[in-house]
């Protein structure tokens, strides 16, 4: 794929629309990240957007999101055109569109409002994966008109179908339910379903990284009392919970998966988690980006732990005061 990339990039403007769509889709399917190719493809597609089909819109943004590549101008242009043509989209194309915008954290209020209206009228057309991806996207992007994203038809679709949902789908429903609590002050789901979603969400598996262990080791050497993977009332788990002067401080250890591709732009899901923890759990949260930690690690090993301790102390001081 690297060799193909070197051939394509200089000629990308010579490609037909379908060739460009197919190329980005193919690269995304194997998870091959090529920032130059995706940037060049975006430049070539933007002037041609009005000539594309609904399927093309959905496949393009899905491909960009899948490899974690942000292209604000492309996403803005597609949102502007597709919001007027949503009647051409089938349910799967709508799901792929809104999922992609949520993953990259790209705000497009008009597109989301139009999609919410369409979903409200066509909720029964959506598969289990389709409806859960869609409501999850509403929550992640914090749709401005929450009533549109929690319409009676959507709620009925969820309640009537939830017995057939997979665990990941139920976890998406929980985040949507939290969004209702965040914005309206109450759950949108019946109490028994809300509690079941919370139990499943809170039991999700944790992935303890070497980065997190390094942070824990430094904090322990600094004398802090801490707990790892501390479960909050919302069901979210904060990587590290500290007690500082009688106050609880959450620390999120953010490795590359929290960011888009090779960038330093936080992904939509990571932003959503922190937003909801702050709003619902009233948490003070410190984010530790992996590249800041890595820069300190490049220094002499003899001084690394001291430098890491100084870095953490500064982060805590900024949060406390």
E-strand stretches of the chain: 225-231, 237-244, 247-254, 284-289
Per-residue confidence of the chain (321 residues) as pLDDT tens digits?
Answer: 666 677 777 788 888 889 888 989 988 988 878 888 899 999 999 999 999 999 999 999 999 999 999 899 999 999 999 999 999 999 999 999 999 999 999 989 999 999 999 999 999 999 999 999 999 999 999 998 898 899 999 999 999 999 999 999 999 999 999 999 999 999 999 999 999 999 999 988 677 899 999 999 999 999 998 999 999 999 999 999 998 888 889 999 999 999 998 889 999 999 999 999 999 999 899 999 999 999 998 876 666 678 999 999 999 998 876
Say how far apart CA 32 and CA 36 lie, in whole Å: 12
Tokens of 32: 């091959």
Cα 253 to Cα 11, 102, 213, 221, distances in angstroms: 41, 21, 10, 18
**Surface-to-core class of residue 185, CB atoms within 10 Å of its CB (0-12 exposed, 13-18 middle, 19+ buried):** exposed
pTM of the predicted structure, to 2 decimals: 0.92
Q: Decide: 133 and 95 in contact? Cβ < 8 Å.
A: yes
Say how far apart CA 71 and CA 152 lie, in whole Å: 34
Sheet strands side by side (includes 237-244):
225-231, 237-244, 247-254, 284-289
């Amino acid at each position: 794929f690297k060799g193909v990339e070197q051939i394509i990039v200089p000629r990308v403007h010579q490609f037909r629309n379908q060739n460009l769509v197919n190329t980005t889709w193919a690269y995304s399917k194997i998870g091959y990240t090529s920032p130059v190719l995706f940037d060049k493809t975006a430049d070539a597609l933007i002037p041609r957007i009005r000539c594309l089909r609904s399927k093309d819109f959905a496949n393009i943004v899905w491909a960009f999101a899948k490899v974690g590549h942000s292209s604000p101008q492309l996403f803005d242009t597609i949102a502007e055109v597709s919001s007027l043509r949503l009647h051409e989209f089938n349910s799967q194309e709508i799901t792929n569109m809104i999922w992609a915008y949520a993953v990259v954290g790209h705000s497009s209020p008009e597109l989301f409002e139009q999609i919410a209206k369409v979903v409200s009228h066509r909720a029964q057309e959506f598969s289990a994966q389709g409806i859960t991806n869609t409501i999850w996207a509403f929550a992640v992007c914090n749709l401005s008109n929450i009533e549109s994203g929690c319409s009676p038809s959507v709620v009925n679709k969820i309640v009537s179908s939830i017995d057939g949902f997979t665990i990941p789908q139920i976890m998406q429903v929980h985040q949507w339910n939290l969004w209702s609590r965040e914005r309206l002050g109450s759950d949108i789901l019946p109490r028994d379903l809300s509690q079941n979603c919370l139990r499943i969400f809170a039991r999700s598996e944790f992935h303890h990284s070497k980065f997190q262990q390094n942070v824990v080791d430094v904090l322990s050497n600094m004398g802090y009392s801490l707990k790892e993977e501390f479960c909050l009332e919302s069901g979210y788990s904060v990587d590290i919970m500290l007690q500082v002067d009688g106050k609880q401080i959450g620390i999120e250890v953010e490795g590359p998966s929290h960011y888009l591709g090779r960038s330093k732009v936080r992904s939509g899901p990571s932003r959503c988690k922190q937003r909801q923890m702050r709003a619902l759990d009233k948490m003070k949260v410190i984010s530790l980006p992996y590249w800041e930690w890595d820069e300190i690690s490049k220094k002499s090993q003899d001084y690394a732990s001291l430098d890491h301790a100084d870095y953490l102390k500064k982060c805590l001081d900024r949060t406390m005061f």
